[in-house]
Amino acid sequence: MTSTDAQVEQGGRKAPALTDLVVITGLSGAGKSTAMAAFEDEGYFCVDNLPSEMIRSLVELFMHAGSKVERAAIVSDVRAGSYFEGLAPILDELQASGVKVRVLFLEAEEQTLLTRYQETRRRHPLAPHGSVLEGIRRERRLLEPLRARADAVIATDGLTAAMLRRRLSDQILIPRTAGRLAITFESFGFKYGPVRDADLLFDVRFLPNPHYEPELRPLSGTDERIVAYINRGQALERFYAHLHPLLDYLLAQYLAEGKAHLVIAIGCTGGRHRSVAIAEHLASRYRGGEGYLVDVTHRDIDRAG
């Protein structure tokens, strides 16, 4: 396969070639699935846990006349076992044939990875019956040559999904549409600390607090009864009357400036009622808007108290 073969005459027109191939690899537990989801949101054709030997065949399919895949992201890592060992030669072969391939390498410190494995209770692929720590260290040694050739290396220690998305946007991710702004509305509780990566932060602790109503306390801000309580005396509607015009103006300015990702944090005391209701409302209001890719996350919604 040559670079000339990448575009085939079809009805007098050239079929679109694969213009961007990203191979996502790195340490197990470092966030490869989260990264793949970010690429998928931007319109990439995504495949998880693909043995390296199959990458060549998949790319050949993408290069055939009539293929509509122009951008693809493939996760290939040690889960493929012995098949993974051939990844580096495959990358060399693809680059030599004219395929634009980039490598994203995700990593994290040992303690971060150990904590993530403890939380998920999963076994390490290189130590299915032994020490997770030994598996991590063995994997790090095995992946060092790939890390050295990576186009982007991202350490995910302390990164939320929104923060990782921003790093990807800044370093390697090509947006589906020029001028598209990814907005994350994130609710949180001040009692658990502020959101570290917020571009804009709104404190909504002045609104009526459902926490002090025993029958409402177990509910969250996704429940209409909570929304109705916060809106007592039209308090919420009055707040939105000021907030909507402000955000309409700011988002348009950020979009015009070419900003790729924006985190808007909304905080109340515990992060379960008021901030959740408002984050959900704002996500619903701006979702589907021209130029916006909207996500919503609730950092502290499941915390007790």
- Give the pLDDT band of residue 249 (cuts 50, 70, 90): very high
pLDDT above 60: residue 13? no
pLDDT confidence bin for 80, thresholds 50/70/90: low
Contact 103, 148 (CB under 8 A): no
What are the chain's domains?
Answer: 9-171 (3.40.50.300), 181-298 (no CATH)
Decide if pLDDT at 12 tops 50: no
The percent helix, strand, coil of the chain (3-state, each to 5) is 45, 20, 35
Check pLDDT > 70 for residue 48.
yes
pLDDT of amino acid 5: 41
Q: First and final CA of the chain: distance in angstroms?
A: 61
Q: What is the DSSP code string of 192-255?
A: G---TT-SEEEE-TTS--GGGSTTTTTS-TTSHHHHHHHTGGGHHHHHHHHHHHHHHHHHHHHH
Report which secondary-structure segment, H or E, holds 289.
Answer: none
Report the alpha-carbon distance of residue 130 to residue 86 in Å, rounded.
25
- Min mean pLDDT across 18-32, 108-122, 143-157, 162-176 is at 162-176
Per-residue pLDDT tens over the stretch 147-167? 999 999 999 998 888 788 888
pLDDT value of position 179: 58
Q: Considering the entire predicted model, what is its pTM?
A: 0.61
**pLDDT grade for 235, boundaries at 50, 70 and 90:** very high
- Evaluate if residue 178 carries a pLDDT over 60: no
pLDDT category at 186 given cuts 50, 70, 90 is very high
Q: Does residue 199 contact residue 263 with C-beta atoms inside 8 Å?
A: yes
Both tokens of 24, joined, read: 């996502």
Q: What is the mean pLDDT of the chain?
A: 85
* Range from 4-13, 79-88, 239-248 carrying the lowest mean pLDDT: 4-13
Q: Which pLDDT band holds residue 7 (cuts at 50, 70, 90)?
A: very low
What is the Cα 251 distance to its own chain's centre? 20
Which of these, 14, 290, 257, lies nearest to 177 by C-alpha position? 290
Which band of pLDDT confidence, cut at 50, 70 and 90, is reported for residue 305? low
pLDDT band at 82 (very low <50, low <70, confident <90, very high): low
pLDDT band at 4 (very low <50, low <70, confident <90, very high): very low
Torsion of CA 284, 290, 293, 294, to 10 degrees: -10
Beta strand segments in 27-90, E: 45-47, 71-75
- Grade residue 32 by pLDDT with cuts at 50, 70 and 90: very high
Residue of 51 and 186 predicted with greater confidence: 186
Confidence grade of residue 84 (pLDDT, cut at 50, 70, 90)? low
Instruction: Place 300 in a pLDDT band, splitting at 50, 70 and 90.
Output: very high
